[in-house]
Amino acid sequence: MMDISVVSGKLLSHRADLLAVLMREGAALPEMNLGGLVARCAREEEFKGGENAVLSLHTHGKIGAPRLALIGIGREKDADRTLEQLRNAASRAVKLAKAAGAKTLAISSPVSGEREVQALAEGASLGAYVFDRYKKEKKPLKLERVQILARKALAKAASQGAEIAGAVNLARDLVNEPPGRVTPRALADAARKMARAHGLRCEVLSRAQIRKLGMNLFLAVSQGSAQEPQLVRISYEARGTPIALVGKAITFDSGGLSIKTAQGMENMKVDMAGAAAVIAAMRLVAALKPPFPVRAYFGACENLPSGTAYKPGDVIAGKNGTSVEVLNTDAEGRLVLADVLAWAVEEKPAAVIDLATLTGAILVALGPWTTGLFSNDDALAAEISDAARIAGEPLWRMPLTPEMEELIKSPVADLKNTGGRYGGSINAALFLQHFVGKTPWAHLDIAGPASVDKERGYNPRGGTGAGVRLSAPRAR
């Protein structure tokens, strides 16, 4: 377990196996009493402090740390961009420390207020993450301590950053597990375990209870699988009106009878990343204790083809009475979310936010790293956009174009579950909107950033924990 703390001390005399000094592009090189060695190496390697640039050298015992790394964070742009530069640099420092076999790492930053220290702690912890549970040869983490050189009064900010990163890593673990391990029941058990450990209430409802609630859309999606569906509600209690979080929890998506290609199924274990995010977010809620109640909901099931699977052409009535003509069984996430959203809004929350790997169309629109935000409430959308910017989670608000409603109207039911090829992510969001009534609602389509196919900054290959950090309270 890697410890992250804030320590005050002199840069040159501080003892650590590796000292990482973060510096702005074009800033003067730090005077390290190394007889001009830093300047000479920087000149030879053309190191100028550009973002992601690294200059690494031995100090030959002339300062407290035997190894020194100068890590560029680029030019100053705006406060939010600075936080992301610090996260990436702290992650880079941890990776350098791991490669060098260091047990202790000290990080010095040119900016060190509350938000900056929190960002450094986040980046360090996120950068240390590795998922190697199923590898025969593992590389144990030798790095035991990361020390952020700053005022000790900022210790709480570092602790909060580590707490946030720990929650993100929980979501990453859940997404990275094979679908044969994270079944609907196993995902519900993970929610129970988290809730028990952090003093939250967790309710898990069975198929019979789901049927009693009238969640026929959810049950239809689940009926092709031998795995029992699980409906989960996690509660943090406080005074006031609750905020509701809803996560998509398709633990494996084959497409059902509208079956995907073999290649299209390769990464479909990721289709429960929304639920992983809300489980992790509730862990943060328990740690940070907001002054209002928070509830998280998800309906977990598999979408598989079999003799009992639901079929294209089926007409099914959802929990709120809206009937849906199923044209494509691979547009299943919106069906499950529809029923769970309808359940969540029955408790009259102040707002409901859902996170879902809902559409491939959002990748076409926004690329692989940006979340699509849809909302029926401008104030809620602005608040989420601000939180995402501070958290360093790229997000773009998309339209809920009323004119496109006609694309999801059915001749035999109230709605159909797909609106055709064009505007796919918008059609899906418009569909969900029919199940939230007048409740302020935001839909986050995380199909792009939920998983990456190669390392990118502090995100390793695989699950990223997208959506968790933007839900966390931040230092003001």
**Could you read off the pLDDT of 245-302 as tens digits, one per residue?**
999 999 999 999 999 999 999 999 999 999 999 999 999 999 999 999 999 999 999 9
Q: Is 92 a catalytic residue?
A: no
Confidence of residue 31 (pLDDT cuts 50, 70, 90): confident
Look at residue 33 in the predicted model and tell me its pLDDT.
83
Confidence of residue 32 (pLDDT cuts 50, 70, 90): confident
> Which one, of 247, 274, 235, 249, lies nearest residue 187 by Cα?
249
Structure tokens at 65: 């740390």
Query: Contact, 463 vs 172, CB < 8 A?
Result: yes
Residue 8 reports pLDDT greater than 60: yes
* Mean pLDDT in residue range 364-377: 98
Tell me if residue 98 falls in helix, strand or coil.
helix
Look at residue 476 in the predicted model and tell me its pLDDT.
31
- Other beta carbons within 10 angstroms of residue 203's beta carbon come to 15
Strand stretches in 27-140, DSSP E:
54-58, 67-72, 104-108
Confidence of residue 139 (pLDDT cuts 50, 70, 90): confident
User: In the chain, where are the structural domains located?
Assistant: 3-149, 168-471
> Which one, of 233, 251, 244, 357, lies nearest residue 300 by Cα?
251
How far apart CA 258 and CA 261 sit, in angstroms, is 10
- Measured in whole angstroms, the distance separating CA 410 from the mean position of its chain's CA atoms is 35
Query: Contact, 245 vs 295, CB < 8 A?
Result: yes
Residue 474 reports pLDDT greater than 50: no
Catalytic position from the list 334, 416, 469, 474 = 334
Q: Is 196 a catalytic residue?
A: no
% of the chain beyond a pLDDT of 70: 99
- Other beta carbons within 10 angstroms of residue 10's beta carbon come to 9
Per-residue pLDDT tens for 378-402? Answer: 999 999 999 999 999 999 999 999 9
Catalytic position from the list 62, 192, 260, 397 = 260
Look at residue 35 in the predicted model and tell me its pLDDT.
83
Look at residue 472 in the predicted model and tell me its pLDDT.
65
> Which one, of 384, 330, 335, 395, lies nearest residue 362 by Cα?
395
Look at residue 475 in the predicted model and tell me its pLDDT.
39
Q: What is the DSSP string of 353-373?
A: EEEE---THHHHHH-TT-EEE
How far apart CA 385 and CA 101 sit, in angstroms, is 39
Mean pLDDT, the chain, as a whole number?
A: 96
Per-residue pLDDT tens for 62-106? Answer: 999 999 999 999 999 899 999 999 999 999 999 999 999 999 999
% of the chain beyond a pLDDT of 90: 94
* Mean pLDDT in residue range 435-461: 97
Query: Contact, 4 vs 121, CB < 8 A?
Result: yes
CATH H-level, domain 3-149: superfamily: Leucine Aminopeptidase, subunit E, domain 1 (3.40.220.10)
Residue 471 reports pLDDT greater than 80: no
Look at residue 442 in the predicted model and tell me its pLDDT.
98
Architecture per CATH, domain 168-471, reads as 3-Layer(aba) Sandwich (3.40)
